[in-house]
Amino acid sequence: VDKKKLISLARGNDPVDLVFKNAKVVNVFTKSIEEGTLAVSDGVIIGMGDYQGKEEIDLKGAYIAPGFIDGHVHIESSMLTPEYYAQVTIPRGTTTVVADCHEIANVLGRKGIDFMLEASETSVQDVFMMIPSCVPSTPFETSGAVLKAEDIQSYLKHPRVKGLGEMMDYVGTVHANKDVLKKIDSFSEKVIDGHAPGLIGQDLNAYVLAGVETDHECVEPHELIEKIKRGMYIHLRQGSQTKNVLDLLPGLRPEFYQRILLCSDDLHPYDMRHTGHIDHNIQLMIQAGFDPIQAISMATINSAQCYRLYKRGAIAPGYIADMVIFEDLNHLQVSQVYKNGKLVAKDHQALFDASFKTNQHVTNTIHLSDKALDFTMRLKDDLVWVIGLIKNNVSTHKIKEKVVLENSVFHCKNNPGLLKLAVIERHHKTGNIGLGIVKGYGLKHGAVAMTVAHDSHNIICLGDSDEDMVLAVKEIKSMGGGIVLVSNRKVIGNLQLDVGGIMSSKSADYVIDQLRNLEDHIKTMGLNPEIEDPFLQLAFLSLPVIPHLKVTDLGLFDVDDFKVIPMEVRENL
């Protein structure tokens, strides 16, 4: 950018690229609306004043706000690669994201991080990266990679790396685990994201003292206030599964509005397209009676401040010309989006193409042992621990069930309502298979398998027949990862997620359509009608950091005791 030219333009010496006349500009510094003419040139905000433009747009009183910033997101959860992700989220007004590529890093380690940095380099959206801190999330699962402090330090100099991704190992942090502290200290000149659900009191003091600066896991106002008091920035999250905005709203006070950010964390593509992205967080707040300009500030300048994204998140001279236009401040409906001063979306449609550049480092990531798959469940006793689903929740119940065994073997056909869950290691050909029994999902005569299985993204497979389960896993392998539905020995639907087994190389349209088809199919297979998202519900059954009973490739996992346990309730038989 020729600053000399821009300064001259600011003084009004020549026409700028573009002026918006009769604009109502949302000023996030004064929290007020400035009416008048806004000048933009060379991708930069010139300012408000008496400016002439080569192009002049009469906004007729419409609003212009800074482009929105998602303060914490796992792009991989959209199942889209960064460019396609931008195609869906930019039309909602999100011009910048602060992304933590935790998911792909669990599959591919540094190769995964490298891919996300490369793929986002060409994205129309600006993607700043937080480098994953917890790969793997726990030692009780086999992930695709293990990242030590030394492995992630090399990213410190990358211009788009803003810090360390969410430090989920808050137990390790408050116990001053050596590798955890080494990671935090390596990133001490940058921002350290947190993840500390429910942490308060002196343990929270310890966590913050260690260097953690943000948290997006608050679920109650009280917790939010405790964290703000200690200087943390708090994200109000509205994801597909975890929706905290409205619960936290009563805890907000004007005195600390500037410490509040908005984020999505994990959003499915259908939700992004139909419900929205950060615009949805804002709109929810407005509907609940919250001040629109304050909500927009949380989605813009506050995130910029927290993540040290200078000259971004405001409409002021010298700031990046990322702007959203909408008609009604009390009903946020983004009609146009400008990125670097160029119109990039209109009426919720992206005006740009996206593509996936073939990258052999991130495809072909299903590495199964050559051993035959065996899901036989031989038990020493008929009183067993069963995973009780909680509808639309990532937690589960740990329940006792008396099951019917046939020659000491559990079969679903003898136990209506119970399904077999298998987690099959798929990164290192270990042949590890962890097994469990699930109640409340409701599948009949079939199986579902997927490689989106938090956080190690092994293959997770649920079904009532071993044969169907084996077929589903084989189909997963031949697709290079994704979601597969098998009914009565036949594959009846799939979504190929060929990038690390968790993202598609195709567009959002493809992913949304396939996912819808799969959902339609699975609903005909006896699915518990209370389950809103059958695949999301499944994807978290392998996550060993969320209570109470899960399955990893190492076996049935008791989250409260933090160990692998036998299925039989009565041990030492």
In the complex, the residues that contact a copy of itself under the rule CB under 8 A are 3-4, 6-8, 10-12, 27, 29-32, 34, 44, 46-51, 173-176, 178, 181, 185, 201-206, 208-211, 225, 228-231, 253-256, 258-259, 305, 308, 314, 316-319
Interior CA angle at 28 toward 25 and 30, to 5°? 95
Burial class (CB in 10 A: 0-12, 13-18, 19+), 80: buried
Q: Which is nearer to a copy of itself, 20 or 375 (CB)?
A: 20
User: Which of 172, 493 has the CB closer to a copy of itself?
Assistant: 172
Residues contacting residue 309 through CB under 8 Å, at least 6 positions apart: 69, 96, 128, 162, 303
Query: Closest Cα to residue 454, out of 189, 88, 138, 169?
Result: 138
Nearest CB to a copy of itself, comparing residues 8 and 414? 8
Residue 300: alpha-carbon gap to chain centroid: 19
| Helical packing angle, 201-210 and 221-229, nearest 10° | 50
- Sequence-distant (6+) residues with CB within 8 A of 325 are 59, 62, 63, 64, 334, 335, 336, 337, 338
Instruction: Find the shortest distance in angstroms from Cβ 315 to a copy of itself.
Output: 9
Residue 47 C-beta: closest distance to a copy of itself, Å: 3
CB 548 within 8 A of CB 398: yes
Provide, rounded to whole angstroms, the least separation between the CB of residue 179 and a copy of itself.
12
Contacts of 7 (CB under 8 A, 6+ apart): none
Count of Cβ atoms closer than 10 Å to residue 1 Cβ: 10
Q: How far is the CB of 253 from a copy of itself (least distance, A)?
A: 7
- Min dist. Cβ of residue 157 to a copy of itself (A): 13
Buried b (16+ CB within 10 A) or exposed e, 554-568: bbbbbbeeeebebbe
- Minimal distance, residue 322 CB to a copy of itself, in Å: 15
| Cα–Cα distance for residue pair 383/387, rounded to 1 Å | 13
Structure tokens at 485: 């539905």
DSSP helix/strand/coil, 277 = coil
Among residues 174 and 462, whose Cβ is nearest to a copy of itself?
174
Nearer to a copy of itself, 104 or 232 (CB): 232
CB closer to a copy of itself, 128 vs 140: 128
* Rounded least distance, CB 329 to a copy of itself, Å: 16
Minimum gap (Å) between residue 560 Cβ and a copy of itself: 21
The first and second tokens of residue 374, run together, are 């065996």
The rounded Cα 569 to chain-centroid distance in angstroms is 35
Q: Residues 190, 164: contact at Cβ < 8 Å?
A: yes
Q: How far apart are CA 309 and CA 427, in angstroms?
A: 36
Q: Give the nearer residue to a copy of itself in terms of CB position, either 199 or 362.
A: 199
To the nearest whole angstrom, how small is the minimum distance from the Cβ of residue 190 to a copy of itself? 10
Q: Which is nearer to a copy of itself, 123 or 305 (CB)?
A: 305
Whole-number minimum distance, CB 257 to a copy of itself, in Å?
A: 9
> Closer CB to a copy of itself, residue 50 or residue 370?
50
By the 8 A CB rule, do 391 and 531 touch? yes
User: Is the previous residue joined to 520 through a cis bond, with omega within 30 degrees of 0?
Assistant: no
Residue with tokens 């211009």: 159
Output 255 or 571, the one with its CB closest to a copy of itself. 255
